[in-house]
C-alpha cells in the first residue's frame, strides 16, 4: 500500500548526512520508502497529515538490558568505593551460589513493559544485551506482538562474579558452562533469526571481556562468522575490569579483543569508556582508540547510566574524530533515547572542556546512523528511498521547546520521550497519538512490575554477600 506522510519538517538523508526538508513529504510502499522530498505527485492509497511536526527516522537503541528494573534501582546514588564506583558490585556480585530466578510471569511482564516504553519513546530498533534465556524468549514474542524491530540473544560467559566473606570480588570460573552458553545462544539464533517478517534478528553476547576466556572469545568469533550475525560485548565499562585485564593478560580489554580476532566490523563494544589514555585509567601507553578505528569496530555509548556512576566517555567528539562509529543506548533506566542524546552532548562538552564538542548533530547521528552502522544496516536510521519505513513523528509545539530554530538541535537540547506522538515500523503505525493499540492497561502493567520488584527487594538480603537489605 502506498502511503504519503505530509510534514512538517522531515529529517531526510542525502546519502551522506541528515538534511532538513521544510514542509517535507515521505512516501512508502508497504515497508520501503520510495520518495523523500518536498513534493510527490503520484497516486497514493493513504495520506497522513503531520503539520508543524518533526518527522525523524526511527531511533536505534544500541544497548538495552531488559527487566523490571528492580536491581538497577539499587545502583542509583550507590557505588562501592573499593571498586572505583563500578555499579555492578551493589547488585550483581552477591554471595557465591546465590541467585535470583526470574519467573515466567515476571519475564513476560518485563518484556512487555520494556518494549512498550522503548516504542513509546521512538525507538524502532532495539538491541537487548544478553538477557537470560527465559526472558529472551519472551522478548521474541513481545517484539512480534508490538511490531518493533530487535536484535536478541541470551548472554553467556566463562565466569560469574561473587563477593567472599570479606566482600572482595572473586571470579568463579566454569569454562564448560561458557561454551554451553554459546551453544545455547547459537540454537536461539537458529530458531528465531528472521522471525516476525525479519524484524527479529540474532546477535551473540559474550557478556564481559573480563568474564570470558580467550578460548570463549575465539569460539564466539567463529560462531558469528558461521551464523553471519553481529556481536556485542561489555568492554572497558569500569576501572576495575580495565586493571584486572592488565594484571591477568598484560593488555587492555580492547587489546585482548584485538588479539583474539573478535575486534572487527561485526563487533560492538558496550560502553568502552576505560581505554588507554582515559584520564581515570592512568594508563597512557597503547592506542585503544586507534585499534578500534582500524578494526572498524563500534561503540555503544550509554551516557546516563555511566554518569550515574561518576564516569564518562572521554569523549564523544574525540571518538568520532578518531574515525570510530558510535551508537547510543539506554542501558538500564530510564529507556529514553532522546535524553541520552542530550546527555551524550552535554557530558561530551564537559569532558572535552569545549562548547564546540558533543554537538546536537553528533548525538542525533549516533542515535540513528551510528546504531544502524553498528548493525550493518544501511536501510535503518535514515529516511531515503530504499530505507525501511521506520518513522517517528514528534511534537515540538510545547513549552519546554519554546521557539524552534534548528529542529534537530531543539530535539537534542529540549526533547524527551513523551514528545513522541506517532511511531511507524515497516510502514505500519504501531503508536498513534501516544496510544499503543496492542498494549494492555499501563496501570495494570506497572502494578505487575511493581509487585515483582518488591519481591526482589524483599529477597535481596539472601543475595547480598553481607546480608544487608535493599532499603
Report yes or no on 460 lying in a domain: no
| Distance of alpha carbon 106 from alpha carbon 103, whole angstroms | 5
Please enumerate in sequence order all residues whose Cβ is within 8 A of that of 100, keeping only pairs 6 or more positions apart, or say none.
71, 456, 459, 463
Instruction: Residue 61: name the closest of 461, 467, 285, 375 by CA.
Output: 375
Please enumerate in sequence order all residues whose Cβ is within 8 A of that of 79, keeping only pairs 6 or more positions apart, or say none.
85, 86, 87, 90, 309, 310
Residues 52 and 124 in one domain: no
Domain count, the chain: 2
- Do 267 and 233 touch, CB atoms closer than 8 A? yes
Residues 82 and 156 in one domain: yes
* Stretch (H or E) spanning 347: helix 337-352
Report yes or no on 277 lying in a domain: yes
| Distance of alpha carbon 308 from alpha carbon 91, whole angstroms | 15
| Distance of alpha carbon 449 from alpha carbon 471, whole angstroms | 18
Domain that holds residue 357: 59-374
pTM of the entire structure?
A: 0.96
The pLDDT, as a whole number, for residue 70 is 72
Report yes or no on 452 lying in a domain: no
Report yes or no on 9 lying in a domain: yes
> What is the Cα Rg of the chain in Å?
22
Residues 151 and 200 in one domain: yes
Give the residues across from 37 on adjacent strands: 25
334: cis peptide before it, omega within 30°? yes
Report yes or no on 440 lying in a domain: no
Strands (E) located in 272-426: 298-301, 325-328, 391-395, 420-425
The pLDDT, as a whole number, for residue 149 is 98
Residues 35 and 68 in one domain: no
Distance between start and end Cα atoms, the chain: 54
Report yes or no on 444 lying in a domain: no
Residues 239 and 351 in one domain: yes
Which contacts of 173-182 are long-range, i.e. CB under 8 A and separated by 24 or more positions?
173/213, 175/213, 175/215, 175/216, 178/212, 178/213, 178/216, 179/216, 179/219, 180/156, 181/154, 181/155, 181/156, 181/157, 182/156, 182/206, 182/216, 182/219, 182/220, 182/223
- Do 375 and 151 touch, CB atoms closer than 8 A? yes
| Distance of alpha carbon 129 from alpha carbon 305, whole angstroms | 15
Residues 138 and 191 in one domain: yes
Residues 190 and 108 in one domain: yes
| Distance of alpha carbon 6 from alpha carbon 344, whole angstroms | 31
Taking only the tens of pLDDT, the chain with its 471 residues reads 999 999 999 999 999 999 999 999 999 999 999 999 999 999 999 999 999 999 999 999 999 999 987 776 666 666 565 666 666 666 667 788 888 889 999 999 999 999 999 999 999 999 999 999 999 999 999 999 999 999 999 999 999 988 888 888 899 999 999 999 999 999 999 999 999 999 999 999 999 999 999 999 999 999 999 999 999 999 999 998 999 999 999 999 999 999 999 999 999 999 999 999 999 988 988 999 999 999 999 999 999 999 988 889 999 999 999 999 999 999 988 999 999 999 999 999 999 999 999 999 999 999 999 999 999 999 999 999 999 999 999 999 999 999 999 999 999 999 999 999 999 999 999 999 999 998 889 999 999 999 999 998 888 888 887 787 776
Counting Cα atoms < 13 Å in the Cβ hemisphere of 471 gives 2
| Distance of alpha carbon 174 from alpha carbon 180, whole angstroms | 10
| Distance of alpha carbon 260 from alpha carbon 216, whole angstroms | 10
Strands (E) located in 306-409: 325-328, 391-395
Report yes or no on 225 lying in a domain: yes
Q: What is the CATH number of the domain that holds 95?
A: 3.20.20.140
Give the residues across from 12 on adjacent strands: 19
Q: What is the CATH number of the domain that holds 424?
A: 2.30.40.10
Amino acid at each position: 500500500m502506498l502511503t504519503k506522510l505530509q510534514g512538517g519538517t522531515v529529517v531526510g538523508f542525502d546519502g551522506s548526512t541528515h538534511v532538513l526538508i521544510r514542509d517535507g513529504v515521505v512516501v512508502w510502499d508497504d515497508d520501503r520508502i520510495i520518495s523523500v522530498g518536498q513534493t510527490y505527485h503520484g497516486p497514493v492509497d493513504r495520506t497522513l497529515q503531520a503539520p508543524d511536526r518533526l518527522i525523524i527516522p526511527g531511533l536505534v537503541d544500541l544497548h538495552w538490558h531488559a527487566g523490571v528494573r528492580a536491581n538497577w534501582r539499587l545502583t542509583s546514588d550507590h557505588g562501592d568505593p573499593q571498586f572505583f564506583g563500578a555499579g555492578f558490585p551493589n547488585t550483581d556480585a552477591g554471595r557465591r551460589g546465590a541467585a535470583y530466578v526470574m519467573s515466567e510471569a515476571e519475564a513476560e511482564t518485563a518484556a512487555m513493559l520494556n518494549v512498550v516504553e522503548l516504542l513509546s519513546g521512538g525507538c524502532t530498533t532495539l538491541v537487548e544485551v544478553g538477557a537470560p534465556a527465559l526472558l529472551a524468549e519472551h522478548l521474541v514474542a513481545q517484539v512480534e506482538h508490538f511490531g518493533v524491530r530487535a536484535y536478541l540473544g541470551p548472554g553467556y560467559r566463562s565466569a560469574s562474579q561473587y563477593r567472599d566473606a570479606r566482600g572482595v570480588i572473586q571470579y568463579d570460573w566454569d569454562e564448560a558452562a561458557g561454551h554451553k552458553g554459546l551453544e545455547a545462544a547459537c540454537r536461539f539464533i537458529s530458531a528465531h533469526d528472521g522471525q516476525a517478517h525479519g524484524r527479529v534478528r540474532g546477535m551473540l553476547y559474550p557478556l564481559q571481556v573480563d568474564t570470558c576466556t580467550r578460548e570463549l572469545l575465539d569460539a564466539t568469533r567463529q560462531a558469528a562468522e558461521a551464523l553471519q550475525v553481529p556481536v556485542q560485548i561489555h568492554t572497558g565499562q569500569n576501572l576495575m575490569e580495565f586493571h584486572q585485564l592488565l594484571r591477568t593478560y598484560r593488555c587492555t580489554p580492547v587489546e585482548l579483543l584485538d588479539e583474539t580476532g573478535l575486534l572487527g566490523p561485526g563487533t560492538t563494544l558496550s560502553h568502552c569508556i576505560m581505554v588507554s589514555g582515559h584520564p581515570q585509567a592512568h594508563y597512557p601507553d597503547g592506542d585503544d582508540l586507534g585499534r578500534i578505528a582500524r578494526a572498524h569496530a563500534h561503540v555503544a555509548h550509554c551516557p546516563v547510566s555511566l554518569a550515574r556512576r561518576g564516569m564518562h566517555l572521554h569523549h564523544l567528539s574525540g571518538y568520532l574524530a578518531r574515525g570510530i562509529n558510535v551508537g547510543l543506548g539506554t542501558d538500564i533506566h530510564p529507556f529514553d533515547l532522546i535524553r541520552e542524546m542530550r546527555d551524550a552532548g552535554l557530558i561530551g562538552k564537559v569532558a572535552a572542556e569545549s562548547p564546540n564538542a558533543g554537538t546536537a548533530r553528533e548525538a542525533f547521528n549516533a542515535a540513528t546512523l551510528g546504531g544502524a552502522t553498528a548493525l550493518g544496516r544501511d536501510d535503518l536510521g535514515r529516511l531515503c528511498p530504499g530505507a525501511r519505513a521506520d518513522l517517528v513523528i514528534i511534537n515540538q509545539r510545547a513549552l519546554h521547546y519554546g521557539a524552534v530554530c534548528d529542529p534537530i538541535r531543539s530535539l537534542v537540547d529540549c526533547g524527551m520521550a513523551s514528545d513522541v506522538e506517532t511511531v511507524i515500523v515497516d510502514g505500519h503505525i504501531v503508536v498513534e497519538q501516544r496510544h499503543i493499540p496492542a498494549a494492555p492497561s499501563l496501570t495494570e502493567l506497572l502494578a505487575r512490575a511493581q509487585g515483582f520488584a518488591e519481591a526482589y527487594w524483599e529477597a535481596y538480603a539472601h543475595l547480598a554477600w553481607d546480608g544487608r537489605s535493599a532499603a
